[in-house]
A and B are shown apart, each in its own frame.
Chain A
């Protein structure tokens, strides 16, 4: 069955960097768009970024543009989120997610989440 298993997360100081990873299995990874969605403590879901199946299209929420980069390794079935210049307001559980359809129109399957805490 579809699985997305996340790694990374942890505590990082403001202004520093962190990379999240997500390994996919149970489906043809190179055929599906992928997303990152985050949830600050006690708050709602916020879509963060998407990448097309071939990596040619990336889009971001305004608050992370220029700081975060989504990427993928289709040969290794892995999705990444490189987070630079982290701010306290980036503190959240970050979910890796697969699009429901091959396009990136809706989130269908979610990872278990990884907590990122930005604090000095």
Chain B
């Protein structure tokens, strides 16, 4: 039950695009399409941004997109805005019928 691997921090200027990677194994992310991304602002509960690798829930901006290749999933934020500054976590279903989260990535808008 090792955590998925994410970069600790990513930064970008307003209007730019950034991509956050999330690396797992063949026991989780590499096998399943049950991959999600969550945004968390300080002191708040997480919010679902992407599910099933690339699906956006209703109400989530289309500036957020997800993809997966092999054992690595990615979240891209286009047209970066100040309100996107937050922590982002990936998650995957696993072969043992459990879930696993990534360590989290702090996004800074310069």
Contact = CB atoms under 8 A, between A and B. Distances in A.
Contact of B104 (A35, A37, A44, A95): A44
A106 B101 contact: no
Nearest to B87: A44
Given A100-B48, A106-B52, A112-B45, A47 B91 contact: yes
Contacts of A37: 101
B96 interface: yes
Contact of B45 (A47, A50, A100, A110): A110
Interface in A86-117: 95, 100, 104-113
B45 A62 contact: no
A106 B97 contact: no
Contacts of B7: none
A57 B102 CA distance: 24
Contact of A108 (B35, B48, B97, B103): B48
Interface in B74-110: 87, 89, 91, 93, 96-104
B39 to A, nearest CB: 11
Interface string B31-60: 010111010100001111001100001000
Interface of B: 1, 3, 32, 34-36, 38, 40, 45-48, 51-52, 57, 87, 89, 91, 93, 96-104
In the A-B complex, the 4 residue pairs with the smallest Cβ-Cβ separation, listed nearest first, are: A44-B104, A105-B34, A47-B99, A110-B45
Interface of A: 35, 37, 44-47, 50, 57, 59-62, 95, 100, 104-113
9 contacts: A35-B99, A45-B38, A47-B99, A50-B97, A62-B1, A100-B48, A105-B34, A106-B35, A107-B48
